[in-house]
Amino acid sequence: MRPRVRAATLTGYRTLAASLGLDPDRLVASQGMSPADLDAPDRWMPAGPVARLLELSAQRSGCPDFGLRLAEVRRLGTLGPLSLVLREEPTLRAALDLLIRHARVYNEALHMRLRDDGELTTVALWLEFGEPAPTAQASDLVMGALLGIIRALVGAAWMPLSVSFAHGAPDDASAYHRVCGPDVRFAARHTALVFPTDRSDTPVLTSDASLRPYAQEYLRRVVVSGRAETATAQAAEAIEFLLPLGRCSLEQVSRHLGLRPRDLQRRLEEEGTSFSAVVHAERMRLAERNLPNTRFTMTEISQILGFAAPSAFSRWFSQHFGSSPSEWRSAARSGSANGLATAGQAGHPRELPDDLVAPG
């Protein structure tokens, strides 16, 4: 199944598109979606067509900051029921942890990771559509929305130290500076924001300690419980770390997790998967995440995925996705919904020969 987003993601789309001389309903329909979805915020829509709609709208309107403008009209409530729980978290760090942990209740394509590095905290984000789809406008929308959420919780004056975008710089970056602050970087390795770690304890303005137990109960009963830390999730995280190092065998991953290889195999089997399937799934995710970013050469991407040579990466990718890496990159950047989208939708993890599992 392709990842989905709540229709609330497009809150304000019709008004913004019309203000820029576009026909919003016609553009929505051109991507195989119903204009009626715009009036049903709790409805779920495939994420890939939404990303293509944003890119097409930016191109047709001549507005390269379309996604960022759309983010500026978002409100905390567009997150749905999760917004009620976020308002009662005690600190910025607690709210970010909750937002990241439960991302799938509002956007199944969104992935975020929070990392503390000494005096700085980084929140990196990326999107995985399960098909070739442009990421620039969708990433701008997510980053702008994330900054809006933080300001709604801790104060409108909040600014990060820096914000980076994986896409290239627009001719006019004034909207990016207005939303993100003075230090905005483009053509970066990742889309991310950075702020001083000591600001993690900034209190949430709307938080009421007496209401927090009820908010947590609401989270458990109504919103969604957090995903369990499964063996599959633990293995995937270790695999992502070890792949670029060329040390992604079952023995090395097991050692990284503090398990014996047969114990890891058994736990994966109990969850209905296998080590090779997890490796392929993680490589698929990393390929989709990094291919649209032209800052990475095919050689660099093959190294990130743990292949010794680009030819091995290309052979694996063609077998796994049904197209070459360069074709996928072109389709993702152009926003084409035809041709390669079918191959991308079919690109779910499957068992492949063991010689393609081992790095290189």
Q: Say if strands 184-185 and 162-164 run parallel, antiparallel, or are unpaired.
A: parallel
Do 253 and 285 belong together in one domain? yes
What average pLDDT does this structure show over 124-128? 94
Q: Bridge partners of 116?
A: 121
Per the listing, tokens 């970013």 go with 293
Residue 81 phi, psi dihedral angles, 5° rounding: -55, -25
In this predicted structure, the answer to whether residue 357 has a pLDDT above a threshold of 50 is no
Do 192 and 328 belong together in one domain? no
Per the listing, tokens 């996928």 go with 328
In this predicted structure, the answer to whether residue 351 has a pLDDT above a threshold of 70 is no
CB 31 within 8 A of CB 337: yes
Do 97 and 34 belong together in one domain? yes
Q: Give the end of a domain, one of 223, 255, 284.
A: 223
Do 237 and 279 belong together in one domain? yes
% residues pLDDT > 90 (the chain): 52
Please state, in angstroms and rounded to a whole number, the distance separating the CA atoms of residues 42 and 63: 28
pLDDT value for 348: 40
Do 24 and 156 belong together in one domain? yes
In this predicted structure, the answer to whether residue 356 has a pLDDT above a threshold of 50 is no
Cβ neighbours, 10 Å, residue 236: 17
In this predicted structure, the answer to whether residue 72 has a pLDDT above a threshold of 90 is yes
What average pLDDT does this structure show over 310-333? 89
pLDDT value for 76: 85
In this predicted structure, the answer to whether residue 3 has a pLDDT above a threshold of 60 is yes
pLDDT value for 223: 61
Instruction: Indicate which CATH number applies to the domain containing 158.
Output: 3.90.1520
CB 165 within 8 A of CB 141: no
CB 138 within 8 A of CB 66: no
Instruction: Indicate which CATH number applies to the domain containing 293.
Output: 1.10.10.60
End-to-end CA distance of the chain: 29
In this predicted structure, the answer to whether residue 4 has a pLDDT above a threshold of 80 is yes
What average pLDDT does this structure show over 304-317? 91
How confident is the prediction for the chain on average, in pLDDT? 86
Tokens representing 157? 């004056």
In this predicted structure, the answer to whether residue 110 has a pLDDT above a threshold of 80 is yes
pLDDT value for 359: 39
Cβ neighbours, 10 Å, residue 63: 21
- Condensed to tens digits (0 to 9), the pLDDT of residues 190-212 reads 999 999 999 999 999 989 888 88
Report helix, strand or coil for 269. helix
Please state, in angstroms and rounded to a whole number, the distance separating the CA atoms of residues 254 and 5: 34
In this predicted structure, the answer to whether residue 289 has a pLDDT above a threshold of 90 is no
In this predicted structure, the answer to whether residue 90 has a pLDDT above a threshold of 80 is yes
Q: Give the end of a domain, one of 223, 247, 274.
A: 223
Do 23 and 78 belong together in one domain? yes
In this predicted structure, the answer to whether residue 136 has a pLDDT above a threshold of 60 is yes
Which of 94-98, 139-143, 226-230, 249-253 is least confident?
Answer: 226-230
CB proximity list for 176: less than 8 A, separation 6 or greater: 65, 68, 163, 165, 170, 184
Which of 11-25, 67-81, 174-188 is least confident?
Answer: 67-81
In this predicted structure, the answer to whether residue 313 has a pLDDT above a threshold of 50 is yes
Please state, in angstroms and rounded to a whole number, the distance separating the CA atoms of residues 242 and 257: 12
In this predicted structure, the answer to whether residue 354 has a pLDDT above a threshold of 50 is no
Please state, in angstroms and rounded to a whole number, the distance separating the CA atoms of residues 91 and 94: 5
Do 100 and 176 belong together in one domain? yes
Q: Give the end of a domain, one of 223, 254, 270.
A: 223
Cβ neighbours, 10 Å, residue 43: 15
Do 83 and 190 belong together in one domain? yes
Q: Where are the alpha helices (DSSP H) in the chain?
A: 13-19, 24-30, 47-61, 66-72, 82-86, 92-101, 136-154, 174-180, 212-218, 231-242, 250-257, 261-270, 275-290, 298-304, 310-321, 325-334, 340-345
What average pLDDT does this structure show over 244-272? 86
Please state, in angstroms and rounded to a whole number, the distance separating the CA atoms of residues 229 and 220: 16
Do 219 and 235 belong together in one domain? no
Q: Which residues of 106-134 are buried (b: 16+ CB within 10 A; e: fewer)?
A: bbbbbbbeeeeeeeebbbbbbbbbbbbbb
Domain that holds residue 108: 4-223
- Condensed to tens digits (0 to 9), the pLDDT of residues 230-244 reads 888 888 888 988 888
Do 12 and 132 belong together in one domain? yes
Burial class (CB in 10 A: 0-12, 13-18, 19+), 61: middle
Which tops the pLDDT comparison, 217 or 146? Answer: 146
Q: Bridge partners of 121?
A: 116, 195
pLDDT value for 63: 96
CB 63 within 8 A of CB 88: no
Which of 72-86, 129-143, 161-175, 264-278 is least confident?
Answer: 72-86
Do 146 and 48 belong together in one domain? yes
Tokens representing 255? 């050692």
Burial class (CB in 10 A: 0-12, 13-18, 19+), 75: middle
- Domains held by the chain: number: 2
- Condensed to tens digits (0 to 9), the pLDDT of residues 38-58 reads 888 888 888 999 999 999 999
Measured on CA atoms in the order 117, 122, 123, 124, is the torsion positive or negative? negative
pTM above threshold 0.85: no
Do 140 and 238 belong together in one domain? no
Please state, in angstroms and rounded to a whole number, the distance separating the CA atoms of residues 107 and 337: 20
pLDDT value for 121: 97
pLDDT value for 224: 52
pLDDT value for 226: 42
pLDDT value for 195: 97
What average pLDDT does this structure show over 299-317? 91
